[in-house]
Amino acid sequence: MSVPIQFDAERAVVLSGGRSLVFHCHFYNCALQRAIEEGMGERAPKVLTEGAARAIHAQLTGLGDAIEDIPAFAEAAFRELGFGLLDLSGVGARGGAAKVQASHYAMGWTAVHGPRETPACFFPAGFIQGAVAVAHGLPLESVTVEERGCYAAGAEDCVFDVRVSEGEVAR
Amino acid sequence: MSVDERAIVEAVGGLPLVGNEEGLIPAFGLYLTRHYADYYNHVSYACLHAAHQEGPEAVAKARAALIEAGHVCAFNTFGGIMLSQEWEAVVGPMLSGRDDWVPGIVSVINALGWGRWRLEGLTPGEELRVRVDNSYESTGYLETHGTSKVGSVCFLATGGVAGIMNLIYHGDILARPALTPDYYAELFAGTGRFVAEEVACRAAGAERCEVVARRA
Amino acid sequence: MKVLVQRDCLGGERIVEIELPRPVRLEDLDRIEGVETRTVLAHLPRPFFRLDVPGRFLLTGIVSDPRVRFTVRMAVRDRALELALEAAERLAARSTS
């Protein structure tokens, strides 16, 4: 496994980069996302994406120098943690396009709630945002990720546009 | 044979629950993620705090929705685990009756990284009391927001404890029912169901979290 | 060979449970090809096994129990039953030794 994990059996916690990892299945993941979307309406996408971006950012920061190739680590972590297959090869310091196949969130949502009109992959979008920011030394808020095709909304795979703010690109 | 929590945690912890080449973790008849507690906490508490800006009705609705997600988790995850081959092999031989299923599932939960759950009291068919010393919810809340001014915050644990009782004493998971939406509705919305309350929460100043499930 | 269940909580028909004509023995597991990760909790009174075959399936079951479960990979989901039955036949075949 590429993701360093420490299991403290006495406290029943699992840590990676000092951050807690917990097992949950797609039923809970989708139920929680639905609760947030229904409860927060238009504010939900930002909150869901931001939560993911901060989580991966904190883990990567905690792991620090233990990771040499951050995009490769992010792809491995995404797969090993059960979120699907992430391809960041089309993303650089100026942005680009990322792809997720077999997205846990998109497949899970479709299986539990059926297809939807809007994209479902807020967690993967935030994950990409956080990983790209750390990989290129960018402030988290300078990276935006938008899912332009989602399996849950009828696309074959989930595709994300990654943009880096003008100011950061110019630097 | 009594339930040996250490042996269960060791066995479950020893399973290679890592995403395969398709990026999925099939286990217990489910697809798991090894997810970020920080993510769950961020989104849950953003929702809770936003509700507090709106008023008591929104708060009640948000709390109910977050606990409901815990019910869904318990029904599918705990239910799936209790119907799995892993359960049959690891926990099954330690069970001598229905009441043993409660410490059995609590032991498995202690392999999930959620913090340590301890069975404080079980009155079969009536009440379950679980203490959580370091729930990932209260830990995350305290780290990010400090002491809670919005009451208890362990929604997943609250839904989970109710779910254990509903699966074992309101429904009959021992009879290996199909975990269908209809069965979910029967267990979590019907009469005689169990509901849980977090009576003490570390995030709100208590020494530890404690959740009690009783019939509605 | 009895097919017990075909279901998948991710929405496909990728989980195939099969009851073999006889209980699984530990040595039967050696006949499954392409295994990358083999886990056998041999210390348990009912030893649980888990064989991961990339590109095909995850096979789980309990030694001395005839029921086995195949969780077939997405990429070959259209052949889920065929792959499961083929492997189940291997599992239940008479040992040549």
In this complex, the residue of B22, B24, B85 whose CB is nearest that of residue C69 is B85
Question: Tokens 């075909």 identify what position?
Answer: C6
B210 - beta bridge partners?
Answer: B131, B200
Q: Residue C97: pLDDT band by 50, 70, 90 thresholds?
A: very low
Mean pLDDT confidence for B6-26? 93
- What would the pLDDT profile of B175-203 be if each residue is shown by its tens digit? 999 999 999 999 999 899 999 999 999 99
Q: Is the pLDDT of residue A14 over 90?
A: yes
Flag whether pLDDT at C5 surpasses 80.
Answer: no
Enumerate helices (H) and strands (E) in chain B, giving the number of each. 9, 6
Q: Mean of the pLDDT values across residues C60-72?
A: 95
User: Read out DSSP for C34-83?
Assistant: T-SEEEEETTSSS-EEEEEETTTEEEEEETT-SEEEEEE-GGGGGGHHHH
Compute the nearest-CA separation of B202 from chain A (Å). 15
User: C43 in a domain, yes or no?
Assistant: yes
Chain C: list its partners (3+ Cβ pairs within 8 Å). Answer: A, B
Predicted confidence (pLDDT) at residue C95 exceeds the cutoff of 70: no
Mean of pLDDT over chain B: 96
The range of the structural domain enclosing residue C55 comes to 2-92
- Residue C69 included in any domain: yes
How many domains does one find in chain C?
1
Superfamily of domain A26-164 in CATH is: Trafficking protein particle complex subunit 3 (3.30.1380.20)
Residue pLDDT, tens place only, B63-86: 999 999 999 999 999 999 999 999
Within chain A, residue ranges assigned H as helices are 26-40, 44-63, 70-80, 104-113, 122-135, 166-170
Residues of chain A neighbouring C11 (CB-CB closer than 8 A): 107, 110-111
A26·C74 Cβ contact <8 A: no
Cβ-based neighbours of A78, under 8 Å, separated by 6 or more: A84, A85, A86, A100, A124, A127, B23
The pLDDT score that the predictor gives to residue C11 is 67
Per DSSP, the three-state class of B203 is: helix
Q: Is B127 exposed, middle or buried (0-12, 13-18, 19+ CB in 10 A)?
A: middle
pTM, entire model: 0.95
B31 in A contact zone (CB under 8 Å)? yes
**Mean pLDDT of chain C, nearest integer:** 90
pLDDT band at A136 (very low <50, low <70, confident <90, very high): very high
Domain ranges of chain A: 26-164
A101 to chain C: closest CA residue: C74
Phi and psi at B61, nearest 5°, equal -65, -45
Taking the CA of residue A106 and the nearest CA in chain C, the distance in Å comes to 10
Task: Say how many CB pairs under 8 Å bridge A and C.
Answer: 12
Res C69: pLDDT: 94
Give A-chain residues touching B6 at CB under 8 angstroms.
Answer: 9
Considering only residues C4 and C28, tell me which one the structure prediction assigns the higher pLDDT. Answer: C28
Query: What is the pLDDT confidence band of residue B158, given thresholds at 50, 70 and 90?
Result: very high
Closest CA in chain C for residue A103: C10
Touching check for A78 and chain B: CB below 8 Å?
yes
With vertex at residue B39, the alpha carbon angle to CA A113 and CA B102, rounded to the nearest 5 degrees, is 70
- In chain A, the percentage of residues whose pLDDT exceeds 90 is 91
Which residues does chain B have within 8 Å of residue A26's beta carbon, measured at their own beta carbons? Answer: 30-31, 33
- Residue A121: φ, ψ to 5°: -90, 65
A58-94 pLDDT, tens digit per residue, is: 999 999 988 999 999 999 999 999 999 999 999 999 9
Residue C97 domain-assigned (yes or no): no
Tell me what pLDDT residue B30 has: 84
**Pick from A23, A78, A82: which is nearest to B112 by CB?**
A23
Of B22, B76, B93, the CB nearest to C75: B22
For residue B194, the one-letter residue type is F
Does A111 lie at the interface with B, CB-CB under 8 angstroms? no
pLDDT bucket at B104, cuts 50 / 70 / 90: very high
Render pLDDT for B117-132 as a digit per residue (tens, 0 to 9). 999 999 999 999 999 9
Q: What is the mean pLDDT of residues A129-152?
A: 96
Cα separation, B91 vs B108, whole angstroms: 9
Among A24, A21, A20, residue whose Cα is nearest residue A32: A24
Q: Which residues of C touch A (CB under 8 A)?
A: 9-11, 74
Please check the confidence at residue C14 and state whether its pLDDT lies above 50: yes
pLDDT above 70 coverage of chain C, percent: 94
What is residue B212's predicted lDDT score, i.e. its pLDDT? 98
Cβ within 8 Å of residue A125, ≥6 positions away? A49, A52, A119, A145, A146, A147, A160
On the question of pLDDT at B29 being above 90, the answer is: no
**Is C70's pLDDT higher than 80?**
yes
Relative orientation angle of helices A44-63 and B37-54, to the nearest 10 degrees: 140
Please give the average per-residue pLDDT across C30-53, as a whole number. Answer: 95
What's C60's domain CATH number? Answer: 3.30.310
DSSP annotation string for B74-115: IIIIIHHHHTSHHHHHHTGGG--SGGGHHHHHHHHHTTTTS-
The burial of B120, by beta-carbon neighbours within 10 Å (0-12 exposed, 13-18 middle, 19 or more buried), is given as middle
